C-alpha cells in the first residue's frame, strides 16, 4: 500500500499518519485536492482503527424541531421560514411533550432538538421545553440548541453565555449538537448566511460550553460554494479549539442538499466528495474522538462504506428528520436499529448502541 500511496503523491502524509504526527493545513489541502479516494481512505481507516478499533456506534435518538421560524434565513437552508410564511410552524411546549409521549415505549435515550432563531419566543419557552421533556421522560439526554441558538438565548436571557448555559443545564440541557457551524469563513458567511452568528462566535460559544462541562459536536456544511482552503481552515479552527478545551465529541460533515433553497442551481455532492470529507476530517482532526457518517445526508449505503473511510459512528434512528428532507433528501426520515446493526455488521465492524456521551449501552 505504501507504494500505491506514494504514487498518489501522498507518501509524506502517509509517513506522518504512521508516526501519528499532526497534519498541516497544507497536508489537509493536498488531501482535499487529491482524487485518490483509496489512498486517502486507507490512511483514514488506519487512524479510525487506531482510535476506535472496530467499534461502530449508533444511538436510539429522536429529532424534534420545535419551530422553523427563523430570522436568519440562510441561503442554503430550506427549513427556515419567516414568521409570515404559510409554511411557518411553532410547537407549543405541550406539542413537544406530546411528541415525546408518543414514543415513550421506544428505547430512545436522546432527544435531539433544534429550531430556528425565532423573533419573539421568550427565554422561558426554551426552559419549559427542556423541563417538559424531562417531566415526560426523566432519563432521556437532551442534546439541544446549536451554538447559534445558545447565543440567541443568552441575548434573550440578558446574561453572559456561561450563565445562560448554567440555567439551561438546570432545566435539563445535557449537551449541544454541532449544527450552525456551516463554514466558518467570513466570505462564505457573508455570501450565504450574513445574519448568522459569525464563525468565531460559534467557536467561542462551544468553548464556553466545554468549560461549563457541556460536551458539544461540530459540523461543516460542505459541497456548495466553499473552497478547499476554506474547508481546511474550518477543520483547523475546530482542531485548535479542541486543543484548548477538549469538549467536542464528534465531527459530522454535512452534505449540502440544494433543493428548495436559494442555492438550488447547485448540484448535489458526489460520493467521492462525501467519502473524502469523512476521511480528511478523520486524518486532520486528530483530537476528535469520533467522526460521524450521517446516513440521513449521504444515504445508509454510502454511510456504510464510510465506516472504512474514517467514520466510526452512524448517528442513530433519528425518527422524523425534517431539515434535510425539506432540502430534498431522498433517504427515509428514520431508520430501524436493526438496519443500522446489519449495515455495521456487514462492514465487518462491531455495532455498539451508545448513549450521547459514548457510554456503551449494548454491544451487538
Q: Is 173 exposed, middle or buried (0-12, 13-18, 19+ CB in 10 A)?
A: buried
Rounded CA separation 114/134 (Å): 16
Nearer to ligand V47 by C-beta: 8 or 329? 329
Which of 108, 142, 171, 252 lies at the binding interface for ligand V47 (CB under 6 A)? 252
> Contact with ligand V47 (CB under 6 A): which of 28, 115, 172, 179?
179
Among 78, 96, 133, 283, binds ligand V47 (CB under 6 A): 78
What's the rounded Cα separation, in Å, for the pair 18 and 287?
16
The H or E element spanning position 52 is helix 37-52
Note whether 58 binds ligand V47 by CB under 6 A.
no
Residue from 14, 76, 202, 251 that binds ligand V47 (CB under 6 A)?
A: 76
Minimum CB separation of residue 263 from ligand V47 in Å reads 8
Stretch that binds ligand V47, among 5-13, 40-48, 95-103, 252-260 (CB under 6 A): 252-260
Give the one residue of 277, 304, 324, 331 binding ligand V47; rule: CB under 6 A.
Answer: 324
Position with the least CB separation from ligand V47: 179
355 near ligand V47 (CB under 6 A):
no
Q: Give the shortest CB-18-to-ligand V47 separation in angstroms.
A: 30
Number of chain residues interacting with ligand V47 (CB under 6 A): 23
Q: What is the rounded CA–CA span in Å between residue 253 and residue 13?
A: 22
Q: Does 247 bind ligand V47 (CB under 6 A)?
A: no
Tell me which stretch binds ligand V47 (CB under 6 A): 14-22, 227-235, 240-248, 320-328.
320-328
| Interaction of residue 180 with ligand V47, rule CB under 6 A | yes
Q: Is 256 an interacting residue with respect to ligand V47 (CB under 6 A)?
A: yes
CA dihedral 350, 356, 362, 364 (to 10 degrees): -30
Which of 30/81 has CB closer to ligand V47? 81
Residues 6+ apart with CB under 8 A from 266: 223, 224, 225, 256, 258
Q: Nearest to residue 165, comparing CAs of 247, 220, 236? A: 247
Residues 38-57 that bind ligand V47 (CB under 6 A): none
Task: Say what angle helices 147-157 and 161-171 make with each other, to 10 degrees.
Answer: 100
Judged by CB under 6 A, does residue 61 bind ligand V47? no
Minimum distance from residue 241 beta carbon to ligand V47 (Å) = 15
Task: Establish if 77 lies at the interface with ligand V47 (CB under 6 A).
Answer: yes
Nearest to 70, CA basis, from 122, 112, 128, 115:
115
Cα 42 to chain centroid distance, Å, stands at 23
Q: Residue 98 corresponds to which cell in the numbers above?
A: 406530546
CA angle at 29 for the pair 23 and 31, rounded to the nearest 5°:
75
Cβ at position 255, least distance to ligand V47 in Å:
6
157 versus 206: smaller Cβ distance to ligand V47: 206
Strands 141-144 and 110-113, bridge-based pairing:
parallel
Exposure string of 223-246, with b = 16+ CB inside 10 Å and e = fewer, is: bbebeeebbbbbbbbbbebbeeee
State yes or no: residue 177 binds ligand V47 (CB under 6 A): yes
Contacts with ligand V47, residue ranges (CB under 6 A): 76-78, 146, 177-180, 182, 217, 219, 221, 250, 252, 254, 256-257, 261, 294, 315, 323-324, 327
Amino acid at each position: 500500500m505504501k507504494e500505491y500511496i506514494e504514487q498518489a503523491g501522498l507518501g509524506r502524509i502517509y509517513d506522518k499518519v504512521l508516526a501519528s504526527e499532526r497534519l498541516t493545513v497544507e497536508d489537509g489541502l493536498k488531501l482535499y485536492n487529491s482524487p485518490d479516494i483509496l489512498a486517502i481512505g486507507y490512511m483514514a481507516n488506519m487512524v479510525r482503527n487506531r482510535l476506535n478499533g472496530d467499534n461502530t456506534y449508533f444511538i436510539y435518538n429522536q429529532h424534534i424541531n420545535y419551530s422553523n421560524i427563523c430570522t436568519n434565513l440562510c441561503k442554503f437552508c430550506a427549513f427556515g421560514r419567516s414568521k409570515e410564511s404559510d409554511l411557518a410552524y411553532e410547537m407549543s411546549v405541550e406539542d413537544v411533550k406530546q411528541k415525546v409521549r408518543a414514543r415513550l415505549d421506544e428505547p430512545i435515550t436522546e432527544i435531539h432538538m433544534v429550531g430556528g432563531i425565532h423573533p419573539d419566543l421568550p427565554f422561558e419557552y426554551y426552559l419549559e421545553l427542556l423541563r417538559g421533556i424531562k417531566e415526560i421522560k426523566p432519563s432521556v439526554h437532551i442534546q439541544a440548541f446549536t451554538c447559534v441558538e445558545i447565543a440567541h438565548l443568552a441575548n434573550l436571557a440578558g446574561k453572559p453565555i456561561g450563565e445562560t448555559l448554567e440555567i439551561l443545564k438546570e432545566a435539563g440541557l445535557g449537551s449541544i449538537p454541532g449544527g450552525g457551524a456551516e463554514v466558518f469563513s467570513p466570505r462564505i458567511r457573508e455570501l450565504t448566511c450574513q445574519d448568522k452568528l459569525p464563525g468565531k462566535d460559534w467557536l467561542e460559544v462551544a468553548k464556553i460550553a466545554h468549560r461549563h462541562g457541556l460536551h458539544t459536536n461540530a459540523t461543516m456544511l460542505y459541497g456548495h460554494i466553499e473552497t478547499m482552503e476554506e474547508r481546511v481552515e474550518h477543520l483547523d479552527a475546530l482542531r485548535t479549539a479542541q486543543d484548548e478545551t477538549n469538549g467536542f465529541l464528534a465531527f459530522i460533515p454535512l452534505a449540502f442538499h440544494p433543493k428548495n433553497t436559494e442555492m438550488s442551481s447547485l448540484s448535489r455532492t458526489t460520493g467521492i466528495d462525501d467519502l473524502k470529507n469523512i476521511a480528511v476530517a478523520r486524518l486532520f482532526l486528530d483530537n476528535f474522538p469520533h467522526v460521524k457518517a450521517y446516513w440521513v445526508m449521504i444515504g445508509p449505503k454510502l454511510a456504510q462504506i464510510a465506516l472504512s473511510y474514517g467514520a466510526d459512528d452512524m448517528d442513530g434512528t433519528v425518527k422524523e428528520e425534517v431539515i434535510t428532507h425539506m432540502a430534498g433528501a431522498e433517504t427515509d426520515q428514520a431508520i430501524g436499529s436493526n438496519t443500522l446493526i446489519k449495515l455495521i455488521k456487514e462492514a465487518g465492524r462491531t455495532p455498539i448502541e451508545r448513549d450521547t456521551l459514548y457510554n456503551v449501552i449494548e454491544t451487538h
